[in-house]
Amino acid sequence: MYSKIISCGILGIDGYIVEIETDISNGLPGFDIVGLGDTAVREARERVRSAVKNSGYEFPLKKITVNMAPANIKKEGSSFDLAIAMGILASSGYISQSAVQKSMFAGELSLDGEIRPVKGILPMAVCAHQNGIRYLFLPEENAREAAVVKELHVIPVRDLRETAAIINGEIEIRYFEDAGGEKGPVYYDTVDFADVKGQENAKRALEVAASGGHNCLMLGSPGCGKTMLARRIPTILPSMTFEEALEVTKIHSIAGILPPGVSLVNTRPFRCPHHSISDTGLVGGGSVPKPGEISLAHYGVLFLDELPEFSKKALEALRQPLEDGVITISRVNASLTYPARTTLICAANPCRCGYFLDEPGKCTCTPRQIQQYLAKLSGPLLDRLDLHVEVTPVKYTELESDKAVESSLEIRKRVERTRKIQLERYRGLSIYSNSQLQPAMFSKFCRLDKKCRSILKDVFERLGMSARAHSRILKVARTIADMDMSEEIRPVHLTEAIQYRSLDRRVWNL
């Protein structure tokens, strides 16, 4: 007998409908799954066989063929177990085929018929809703995640027996009720810019970075507070819209890093991979493609601590996604696109011993060693970092002082205001923040008056500024003007922007 059950596969960060067709016919007993499944899918045979048997059903001693359509896309993972089992039950007549037409099934089976949680439930739920499916049967643990899609009836199930009973109407359906109040993982509920004493210059620079979405490099001696500052950046980024949160949650769901019980990631992610990470780990990929750290930091912050320690290959791989905001991974069967719109914050020591920026005499490096160390930083990646922030250690007296320090909330309000100005200005264009301005747009959005032009000329001639700084300065000056709610860029904005280009200046060539 033939039956058709609907399940869902994942491609990139989106789900697609997979029809599980099951045919049981006379012939030599056997169980085949076709339709480009990976090892996990092939192994589903054994799990399904045992689960069906141990749930009290008779596993048909006939020739069983399962086809997963569309058959030309590679299917991965264990989430098809439940659907395959349901197909066999339907084909054997244990459940009615008509009852499951508008339902989708996802879940992994254990040998005794229990249903285990799977990755990527949110994109499946979204896909189900988009394809007019009304019921989603899924593992209990995943229910809250799927409940984000309000229009869908989410039915959490514990085991195979219960699932069949619900379909046959033997027990009442328990829809999942979102208890509400379950917030996403709060990466930074305990940190606040109010904790950072002193460091006014660095804080201001990070506010500029947050306001314009600029990538930023922090340089400073070990223990001067680079990491402390970086961890607080998400707290001043504008809060996410529902669409943004949905997209981030999808990515986290696929990567399987969504904490249990969390429905929606509604705080901006902060990712800080260790410097031993591979290029694949950073941008995504692998034989079973997974989103990399840059995608996990989508709409949030990717923090690379000890930048020069990262492998050259990994850093090179970052360049294209940083520019495009997406990363495309091509495989024989498909090419996947993961979103990767992130603010990159890097931290590095200024020299090998780390103390070059502190008071003179503390650094033990020779000028040549410093140059060699900085040469590691230079190159194309440095071209994508708009701000260079020099961070110097705070004096003890400042740690002690009880002078009022601005909280993240206050700063965030300003950042949100500045972002809004940008969104309105760039409406209709394909960009959303000053950091994405293209050189062609400078004449329209970054016009400089005569005074500004003469300052800029002076700076390039007298301070030995390198030419690549030019467009960076304009973008950052635009952001500073926006923070000041000024339509035109004034000298005071421009000069501040120039001060954030330390590495392009002669200051460092002692």
Partner 1 sequence: MELECGENVMTSNLKYWIWLGSLVNTTPARKYRLLQYFRDPALVWEASEAELEASGLCTKKLISSLKDKNTRNETERAFESLIRCDAEIITFNDRAYPELLRHIADPPLVLYCRGKLEPEEKRVAVVGSRRATWYGLDMAKRLARELAEHGVTVVSGMARGIDSQAHKGALEAGGRTIAVLGCGIDKAYPPENRELMEKIMQNGAVISEYLPGTEPVRYNFPARNRIISGISLGVTIVEAGEKSGSLITADYALEQGREVFAVPGNINSHNSTGTNRLIRDGAKVVTCVGDILDELKVSHDSKNTYSVNKKSALMKLGKEEKTIAQRLLNGPVHLDVISRDCGISVQMASSILLMLELSGFVEQLPGKYYRLVE
- Cis peptide leading into 117, omega within 30 of 0? no
CB closer to partner 1, 88 vs 391: 391
For residue 82, give the 3-state DSSP assignment.
helix
Q: How many CB atoms lie within 10 A of CB 186?
A: 12
CB closer to partner 1, 63 vs 204: 204
In the complex, what is the shortest distance from the CB of residue 479 to partner 1, in angstroms, rounded to a whole number? Answer: 12
Residues 102/239, Cβ–Cβ less than 8 Å: no
CB closer to partner 1, 324 vs 449: 449
Give strand pairing partners of 435.
Answer: none
CB closer to partner 1, 138 vs 196: 196
In the complex, what is the shortest distance from the CB of residue 389 to partner 1, in angstroms, rounded to a whole number? Answer: 9
CB closer to partner 1, 68 vs 357: 357
In the complex, what is the shortest distance from the CB of residue 488 to partner 1, in angstroms, rounded to a whole number? Answer: 16
- The whole-angstrom separation of Cα 270 and Cα 19 is 37
CB closer to partner 1, 110 vs 495: 495
In the complex, what is the shortest distance from the CB of residue 496 to partner 1, in angstroms, rounded to a whole number? Answer: 5
Specify burial of residue 326 (Cβ count, 10 A radius: 0-12, 13-18, 19+): middle
Q: Which residues bind partner 1 (CB under 8 A)?
A: 198-201, 204, 350, 356-361, 364, 366-368, 390, 392, 455, 458-459, 462-463, 480, 491-492, 495-496, 498-499, 502, 505, 507-508, 510
- Strand order across the beta sheet in which 103-105 lies: 30-34, 63-69, 14-25, 2-11, 103-105, 135-139, 153-157
In the complex, what is the shortest distance from the CB of residue 361 to partner 1, in angstroms, rounded to a whole number? Answer: 5
CB closer to partner 1, 153 vs 417: 417
Its sign, for the CA torsion 58, 102, 42, 156, is negative
CB closer to partner 1, 5 vs 476: 476
User: Which of 188, 194, 189, 198 is CA-nearest to residue 225?
Assistant: 198
Give strand pairing partners of 31.
Answer: 64
Helix axes 121-130, 242-255, angle to 10 degrees: 120
Structure tokens at 390: 């020099």
CB closer to partner 1, 140 vs 406: 406
In the complex, what is the shortest distance from the CB of residue 411 to partner 1, in angstroms, rounded to a whole number? Answer: 13
Structure tokens at 248: 């981030």
In the complex, what is the shortest distance from the CB of residue 220 to partner 1, in angstroms, rounded to a whole number? Answer: 8
- Strand order across the beta sheet in which 343-348 lies: 270-271, 301-304, 343-348, 216-220, 387-391
> On the CB side of 493, how many CA atoms lie within 13 Å of its CA?
25
Residues 176/156, Cβ–Cβ less than 8 Å: yes
CB closer to partner 1, 177 vs 400: 400
CB closer to partner 1, 441 vs 455: 455
In the complex, what is the shortest distance from the CB of residue 350 to partner 1, in angstroms, rounded to a whole number? Answer: 7
- The whole-angstrom separation of Cα 163 and Cα 27 is 29
User: Which of 135, 110, 106 is CA-nearest to residue 123?
Assistant: 106
In the complex, what is the shortest distance from the CB of residue 392 to partner 1, in angstroms, rounded to a whole number? Answer: 5
Q: How many CB atoms lie within 10 A of CB 117?
A: 18
- The whole-angstrom separation of Cα 472 and Cα 214 is 9
In the complex, what is the shortest distance from the CB of residue 497 to partner 1, in angstroms, rounded to a whole number? Answer: 9
- The whole-angstrom separation of Cα 231 and Cα 27 is 63
